[in-house]
């Protein structure tokens, strides 16, 4: 049981806490009442504010809408005024631009094109908005007049400023082809820069607005004419200059090159003169007028005009490639891309056709030359064909994109030249074989026959064109003719594409064939001579001429490709003919040969029969010696080395035999008049033989 004191204390404590809670509750109640009052006041204020806002909104929105409408109306008015001004301006275009259009674009292209732009817009406006308006016809007529003026200006600019490229500049342009060092590129300005820009602007306007392609025809006609005239001018310049000063070259920019080496002239094609010079080193006499004639026209007499024409044509081919490349660069700036190839095709036709026609004329002339056996004229085909083949890759690149007919012109010409060249080679070989043995055409002194010199000169000329000549032979499938197997490694799928080695073997076989035909013909011709000794001298001279000519050139190496023993064979033939010639002296030396001399005892008086025999021997020797020296003095051996060799050998034989005979019978009393029979001393006999083969002695 809780003591009373504690219960009393506990009660007081609880009462105190109760009192505190009541006070707190009273405070909370007062606070809620104040909060409610504040809330009521705030709601009242917000309601009042909302009411005022609604009143304000109802007042402002109508004003705003009215202001917005006014602004829209103002903008519409401004746009309308602007459109009216713009429309009105179209009605003034004709009057504003008529004077400019009438005066033309010359000297003020920028202003003129600006006026044309205004007229173009006016035409579009009236077409869209007032197609029946008389103003439309007015601006249309003005536009057409302006377009015609632009077309006329285009033609005028092209005509006035398109100049023929000078021959000197063309030569400078193509002279760098053979240069080892990189040379400064020669500038080629077809049109002044300012004029070119005007032409380009007019071209673009005509394409975009003029809807007219006639200017492209104007362009290619004018540029085609200039290209053609440039090439013809070069050809004419070359003809005039070559006759007096060789290659017509002079620097295009002399002032720039005073302190620098000038470019070398273009290498001229090999000509017959090179062969002549090499062979004349062997023997001047062998090429003089004393040799016999043949039915082949002499190569020596070839007119230098052929060389000039050949060189001129080769230069023109190179010039065409370079000028055509330059023309295409110019055309790319002026002509729209999708019309460039067609326009370029038309542009180059006249110049290209001129070159091809001249090439075909060369082929035709070569065919006629073959008929009359003038193979020197046919030689012009070789350098031209070689140059065409060398230039063909550049040709193909230049003509890329042109019509098939245009691309095929050069290959067709090359084929024609290969065909006529192969025909010339075959006919030449046949003519060497079948050259007639005409007695009146044979050299009286047994010197080199003209047939031999012609054949060697022709073969010598082929050295500069080994691959070209080999390709000619290969193009006619001459491998079968010469029994040369076609090695797949040496031939390609292309009919005219052969390896260098295969072409060399073909040409070597051909040269051997010509030399074989020549040897057979010379043997036949030698039979015309009644004197076997003169026949031997004739064959000796010709064989020696051939051998020396082969040795002094690369022909011997070319022959050796298929005939290893050719040189040795010729030396054997030459020695054989020398021996044949030496037998002609047997009728002289046989008189005094020991085997035919009478035998007698020294100190024993000779019988009449023995004295007579000795007299006959002396007389026979003297008469034979005099006769042979008289006859053989008029014969010729052009090669000094061979001439001295043959003289010396014969002199040794005769002097030895005669010396022994004279020693034996010179002091024998076989006659009362020894000077009648002993006419010559041994030295005199040697001197007489030393004068053989010397018509000037």
Q: Is residue 539 within 8 Å of 524, Cβ to Cβ?
A: no
Q: How many Å apart are CA 660 and CA 637, to the nearest integer? A: 29
The answer to whether residue 543 scores a pLDDT higher than 90 is: yes
pLDDT exceeds cutoff 80 at 183? no
Q: What is the rounded average pLDDT of the residues 61-68?
A: 80
pLDDT of residue 198: 92
Closest Cα to residue 319, out of 355, 360, 349? 355
Q: Are 323 and 199 in contact (CB under 8 A)?
A: no
CA distance 478 to 429: 13
With 0-12 / 13-18 / 19 or more C-beta atoms within 10 angstroms meaning exposed / middle / buried, residue 440 is exposed
When mean pLDDT is compared over 88-102, 204-218, 236-250, the highest value belongs to 204-218
Tens of pLDDT along 11-29? 888 988 898 988 899 999 8
The per-residue pLDDT for 576 is 96
pLDDT of residue 581: 94
Model confidence at 301, pLDDT cuts 50, 70, 90, reads very low
Say how far apart CA 368 and CA 377 lie, in whole Å. 9
Express each pLDDT in 576-605 by its tens digit: 999 999 999 998 988 888 776 666 666 667
pLDDT(280) > 80: no
Read off the pLDDT band of 134 (50, 70, 90).
confident
Residue bearing the bigger pLDDT, 214 or 572: 572
For residue 152, give the nearest of 111, 144, 100 by alpha carbon. 144
Least confident span in 123-127, 152-156, 164-168: 123-127
Average pLDDT over residues 293-315: 67
Residue 430 has pLDDT above 60, yes or no: yes
- Helix or strand run (H / E) with residue 643: helix 640-665
Checking if the pLDDT of 664 tops 70, the result is yes
Q: What is the pTM of this model?
A: 0.72
pLDDT (average), residues 234-259:
55
pLDDT band at 177 (very low <50, low <70, confident <90, very high): low
Out of 243-252, 328-337, 503-512, pick the least confident. Answer: 243-252
Q: What per-residue confidence (pLDDT) applies to 1? A: 66
Bigger pLDDT: 70 vs 455: 455
Average pLDDT over residues 663-676: 82
Segment 186-200 shows an average pLDDT of 84
Kindly provide the b/e burial profile for residues 609-640, where b requires at least 16 CB atoms within 10 angstroms of the residue's own CB.
ebbebbbebbebbbebbeebbeebbebbbbbe
pLDDT digits (tens, 9 = 90+) for 469-494: 888 888 775 434 444 444 444 444 34
- The arithmetic mean of pLDDT across residues 204-230, rounded, is 89
Q: What is the pLDDT of residue 119?
A: 85
Cα separation of 118 and 150, whole Å?
15
Predicted pLDDT of residue 249: 43
Higher pLDDT, 18 or 308: 18
Q: Which DSSP state fits 693? A: T
643 alpha-carbon distance from chain centroid: 47
The model's confidence at residue 8, banded by pLDDT at 50, 70 and 90, is confident
Q: In the prediction, which pLDDT does 83 show? A: 62
Highest mean pLDDT among 140-149, 181-190, 314-323, 373-382: 314-323
pLDDT band for position 244 (cuts 50, 70, 90)? low
Condensed to tens digits (0 to 9), the pLDDT of residues 38-59 reads 998 888 898 888 888 888 878 7
For residue 567, what are the CA distances in angstroms to 524, 551, 559, 679? 22, 9, 9, 44
List the single range of 131-135, 278-282, 503-507 with lowest mean pLDDT: 278-282
Residue 521 has pLDDT above 90, yes or no: yes
Residues 235-241, mean pLDDT to the nearest whole number: 82
Higher pLDDT, 272 or 554: 554
What pLDDT is attached to residue 186? Answer: 53
């Amino acid at each position: 049981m809780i003591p009373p004191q504690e219960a009393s204390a506990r009660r007081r404590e609880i009462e105190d806490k109760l009192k505190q809670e009541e006070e707190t509750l009273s405070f909370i109640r007062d606070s809620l009442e104040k909060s409610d009052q504040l809330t009521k006041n705030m709601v009242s204020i917000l309601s009042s504010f909302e009411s005022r806002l609604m009143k304000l909104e109802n007042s402002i929105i109508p004003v705003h809408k009215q202001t917005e409408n006014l602004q829209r109306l103002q903008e519409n008015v401004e746009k309308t005024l602007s459109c009216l001004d713009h429309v009105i301006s179209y009605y003034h275009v004709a009057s504003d631009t008529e004077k400019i259009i009438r005066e033309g674009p010359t000297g003020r292209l920028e202003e003129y094109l600006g006026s044309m732009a205004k007229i173009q817009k006016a035409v579009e406006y009236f077409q869209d908005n007032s197609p029946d308006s008389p103003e439309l016809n007015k601006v249309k007529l003005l536009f057409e007049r302006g377009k015609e003026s632009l077309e006329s200006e285009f033609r005028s600019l092209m005509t006035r400023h398109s100049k023929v490229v000078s021959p000197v500049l063309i030569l400078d342009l193509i002279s760098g082809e053979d240069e080892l060092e990189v040379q400064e590129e020669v500038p080629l300005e077809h049109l002044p820069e300012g004029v070119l820009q005007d032409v380009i602007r007019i071209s673009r306007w005509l394409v975009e607005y003029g809807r007219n392609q006639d200017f492209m025809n104007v362009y290619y006609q004018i540029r085609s004419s200039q290209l053609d005239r440039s090439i013809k001018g070069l050809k004419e310049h070359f003809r005039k200059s070559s006759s007096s000063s060789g290659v017509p070259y002079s620097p295009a920019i002399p002032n720039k090159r005073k302190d620098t080496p000038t470019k070398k002239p273009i290498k001229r094609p090999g000509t017959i003169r090179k062969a002549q010079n090499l062979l004349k080193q062997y023997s001047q006499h062998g090429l003089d007028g004393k040799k016999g004639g043949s039915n082949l026209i002499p190569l020596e007499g070839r007119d230098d005009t052929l060389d000039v024409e050949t060189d001129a044509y080769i230069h023109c081919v190179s010039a065409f490639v370079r000028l055509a490349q330059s023309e295409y660069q110019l055309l790319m700036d002026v002509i729209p891309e999708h019309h460039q190839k067609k326009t370029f095709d038309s542009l180059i036709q006249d110049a290209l056709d001129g070159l091809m026609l001249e090439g075909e004329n060369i082929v035709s002339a070569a065919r006629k030359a073959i008929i009359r056996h003038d193979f020197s004229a046919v030689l012009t085909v070789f350098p031209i064909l070689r140059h065409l083949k060398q230039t063909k890759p550049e040709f193909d690149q230049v003509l890329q994109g042109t019509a098939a007919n245009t691309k095929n012109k050069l290959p067709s010409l090359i084929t024609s030249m290969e065909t006529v060249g192969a025909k010339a080679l075959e006919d030449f070989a046949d003519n060497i074989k079948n050259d007639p043995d005409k007695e009146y055409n044979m050299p009286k002194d047994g010197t080199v026959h003209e047939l031999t010199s012609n054949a060697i000169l022709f073969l010598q000329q082929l050295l500069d064109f080994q691959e070209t000549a080999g390709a000619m032979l290969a193009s006619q499938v001459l491998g079968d003719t010469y029994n040369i197997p076609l090695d797949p490694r040496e031939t390609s799928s292309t009919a005219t594409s052969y390896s260098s080695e295969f072409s060399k073997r073909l040409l070597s076989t051909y040269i051997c064939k010509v030399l074989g035909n020549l040897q057979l013909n010379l043997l036949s011709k030698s039979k015309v001579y009644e004197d076997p000794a003169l026949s031997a001298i004739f064959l000796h001279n010709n064989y020696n001429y051939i051998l020396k000519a082969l040795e002094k050139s690369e022909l011997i190496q070319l022959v050796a490709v298929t005939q290893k023993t050719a040189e040795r064979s010729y030396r054997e033939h030459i020695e054989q003919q020398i021996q044949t010639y030496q037998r002609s002296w047997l009728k002289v030396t046989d008189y005094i040969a020991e085997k035919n001399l009478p035998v007698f005892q020294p100190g024993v008086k000779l019988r009449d029969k023995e004295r007579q025999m000795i007299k006959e021997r002396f007389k026979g020797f003297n008469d034979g010696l005099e006769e042979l020296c008289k006859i053989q003095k008029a014969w010729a051996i052009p090669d000094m080395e061979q001439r001295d060799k043959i003289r010396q050998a014969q002199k040794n034989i005769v002097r030895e035999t005669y010396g022994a005979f004279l020693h034996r019978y010179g002091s024998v009393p076989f006659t009362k008049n020894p000077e009648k029979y002993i006419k010559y001393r041994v030295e005199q006999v040697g001197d007489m033989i030393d004068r053989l083969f010397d018509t000037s002695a």
